[in-house]
Structure 1
Amino acid sequence: MRYVVIGAGAIGGTIGVRLARAGRSVVLVARGAHLEAIRSDGLRLDEPGGSHTVRLPAVAAVGDLDWADGDVALLCTKTQDTPPLLEALSAVAPSVPVVCVQNGVANERLAAERFADVLGVCVMMPAEHLTPGRVASFSAGVPGLLDIGRYPSGVDALTEEIADDLTAAGFSARPTASIMRWKYSKLLGNLGNAAEAACGFDDPDLPALYRAARDEGTRCLDAAGIDVASPDEDRERRGTLLDVQPIDGAARQGGSTWQSLQRGIGSVEVAYLNGEIVALGERHGVPTPVNTLLLATAERMAAAREAPGRYRAADLLAAAGSRTAQGSA
C-alpha cells in the first residue's frame, strides 16, 4: 500500500513522516514554499522528544503522480480546498480509496459524490505548521488519536489495515463503525477554533465564548436528531493519551484556524465548522448568534489577512447577545 498524503501541513506532515519512519510507502502532495523546502531539505518533524527529517517524494498536484492499485489517498487539507482536489483526483484516480483526515463533517459527503470508497478519520492531534519544510507535534504521549471508519458507517479490511499502519506509526488508531458520531463530537470542539483565532488563546473570556458556541451547536444537533459521541465518551477515549508539552521551550501557539490567520493564507475553514451549525440552525429554527458572529469575524479577518488575536471575547459575546435581542424584538 502507498499512502498519498494530500496536504502535508500540521496533520498530513506529521502522519507522513511517522508512516515513512514506520516503513510504509509515502508520497506527499504540497505546494508553494513548503513543497520547495521538502524537495530541497526534506520534511522535518519536531516533537517534545526530538526532531526527525525525512526525505520523501513530493509533488505539487495529484495529477503529477502515476497512480496505481493499492494507493490510498489521505486527504489532509482544510475543507475549503476539498472540492477542487476531489475533482482533480477523480480525473486521475477515480477508483482510489479516499480517507478524510480532516475536521468537520462535510468532507466525507463531498468525497462520496465522486468516490465509492470513502473513510473518515476523527483527528485529535495537537500539531502545528507555520514554517515551510517543518511541522511540529506537541504531544509527548502518543502524537494523536486517529480513529477511522467507513462513511457513512462500517468497518472493513481496508479500515483495519490503515488503523494497523497508523498504530505502527505511533498513533492511537482504532477502527470505528460509527465514525461520524465521533466527527460530530469533534465538530462541537472545533467551534472554538474561530474564537481562539479572533481573540487569542490567553483572552480570559475565551472559555465563555467557546461554551456559548458549543451550547448553540449542541442544540442544533439535538434539533436535527444527529447522534453525537457524548462528552463522557470523549473523555474516556482521550484518557491520558495526549500529553501536550513544549518543544525546545516553545509551546504550541494556536489551533488550525489560528495558524491559517498567522500564515496569512487568505482563507479559513470556519464555513465548514461554525457554518455547519449556522446552516443546521436555519434549517431547524434554532438561533445561532454566536456561531454566526464567529463565522463572519474569522472570514473577514482571513480575507483582510489580519493577524489573530485582534478581538476581545467579551465584546464578541456582547455583540452576539445584542443580535439575539434584536432578533427577538
Structure 2
Amino acid sequence: MRIAVIGAGALGGTFATLLSAAGHDVSVTARGAGLAAIRERGIRLEGGFGRAAARPTALERLVETPDLALVCTKAQDAEEAIRDNAAVLDGAAVIVIQNGLDGVDTATRLLPGSDCFGALSIIAANYTEPGLVTVTTAAPTYLGRGTGPADAATRHWQEVLAGAVPCRTIDNFVGAQWTKLVVNMLNALPAITGLSVQSVVAHRGLRRVMTLSMREAVRVGMRRGIRFGAMQALDDVRLRLFSLLPAWAGQVLPLRMRARMGTVPNLGSTLQSVTRGQRTEVDFLNGAVVREAAVAGISAPVNHRLTALVHEVEQRGSFLGPDEVLARFSRSR
C-alpha cells in the first residue's frame, strides 16, 4: 500500500520506519536537515520497538495521491502542512496523529474529498538527531472519529496500521481526545524547567502544579459537556472522581503515569521543541484548556500560567528552575 507520512519527526519517523518494515511503499515529507538526512541515510529507529531502518522516499511536498496519509506534524504546523499537500491529499484517506483537539476538524475542512480519522498515540519517542528516533515508551495508538462507536472504515485502517505498530480502534474519539489532553498536561513543566517528565513528577512542588493543571483540564471538559473516552486506564468515571480530589490525593495520577514510563528519560514533545529552538504546541495543549474554559464561561488560571511560562522560555532561550516556577505560581495567587 502507498502510505505518505507528513512530518518525519519523532512520531512520524517511528510510523514511517515500522510501516516500511511491514512492506508498505512509504514516502515522507520533511524539511531542512531532516530532509537531507533521510535522503542520505534513511531513518533509523531504536529503543522500545527494537532497531529498524528504512529508506522512504523523502520529499518537501507530496507529488502523488497515496492510499493513506498520516499527518504527524506538531499541532501548530498541521494546517500549513495539509494546505501544502492538499492538491494530492484530497481524496486520500487521512489519519491525523496529533495532540490537541483540532486536528481532525482541520483536515476535514481543508480536504472535503477525503475520509478523515484521528489517532491518539501513546508512543513516547525522542527525535535524537535528524534521521534518528529513539522510542522511550512503546505503546498503542488509538484510532477513531466522532463521538460514537468505531465504524467499518475505522476498523479497516486499524487493521492496516496494526500490521506494523500496535493500534486499536476506540469509541467516542472526541472524548478520548480530551482524555489524552489531560495526559498531555505532563508536557508543560518539562518544557519550562528542562527536566524529564519523570524528574518533574518526582519533585513534590512541581508534581502538585502538574496535578492542578490536570484537574483543571478535567473540570473544564466537564463544563463543556464532555464524556471522557477510555484509554490508558483512564475513563469518564475515574477522571470525574479525580476532579473532586484535593491536590494532595490527586497526585496519584501523575505518579502512576510516571511508573508506566519506565526509567528512560521521557523529555516530552514540548521540551523537545524548545531544545531544538522550534515553536511549541503549548497553545494546543494547555492553551486549549484556557480557550475551552473561556467558552464555558470559567477561567483556567493554572493552565493560563503554564502557557505563559512556556512562551517565556521559548523567547528567552533558557529554562526556569523549579523554585522560580513555584515562586511564579505563588505570586499569581
Normalising by structure 2, we get a TM-score of 0.84
Q: What is residue 120 of structure 1 aligned with on the other side?
A: 118
1:1-329 alignment runs, 5 A limit: 1-48=1-48, 50-62=50-62, 65-68=63-66, 71-116=67-112, 117-139=115-137, 143-151=138-146, 153-171=148-166, 173-199=167-193, 200-201=195-196, 202-203=199-200, 204=203, 205-229=205-229, 233-234=233-234, 244=261, 251-265=264-278, 267-304=279-316, 306-307=317-318, 309-312=319-322, 314-323=323-332, 325=333
CA 1:3–1:156 in structure 2 vs 1: closer, same or farther (change >3 Å)? Answer: farther
Distance change in 2, residues 1:163/1:232 (3 Å): closer
CA distance in structure 2 between the aligned counterparts of 1:79 and 1:253, rounded to whole angstroms: 20
Distance 1:289 1:66 in 2: 46
Number of aligned residue pairs: 305
- Provide the rounded CA distance (Å) in 2 between the counterparts of 1:322 and 1:286: 21
Percent identity of the aligned residues?
Answer: 30
1:30: how far off?
1.1
Structure 1: how far apart are the matches of 2:313 and 2:71? 26
**Structure with the greater relative contact order (CA < 8 A, sep ≥ 6): 1 or 2?**
1
Deviation at 1:217, TM superposition (A): 0.9
Q: Any runs of at least 4 consecutive aligned residues in structure 1 with deviations exceeding 6 A, and if so which?
A: none
Mapped partners of 2:83, 2:133: distance in 1? 27
What is the CA–CA distance in structure 2 between the aligned matches of 1:289 and 1:61, rounded to whole Å? Answer: 40
Tell me if structure 2 keeps the 8 A contact 1:120–1:180. Answer: no
Which letter maps to 1:119?
F
**Matches of 1:300 and 1:198, distance apart in 2:** 8
Q: For structure 2, which runs of at least 5 residues remain unmatched after alignment? A: 239-255
| Cα pair distance change 1:76/1:243, threshold 3 Å | same
Distance in 1, matches of 2:70 and 2:31, equals 16
Q: Tell me how large the CA RMSD over aligned residues is.
A: 2.5
Decide whether the 8 Å contact of 2:33 with 2:130 is kept in 1.
yes
DSSP 3-state at the match of 2:45: strand
Q: Is the CA contact (8 Å cut-off) linking 1:289 and 1:320 kept in structure 2?
A: no
1:228 & 1:49 partners in 2: Cα distance? Answer: 29
Deviation of the 1:276 alpha carbon = 0.7
Secondary structure, counterpart of 1:130 in structure 2: strand
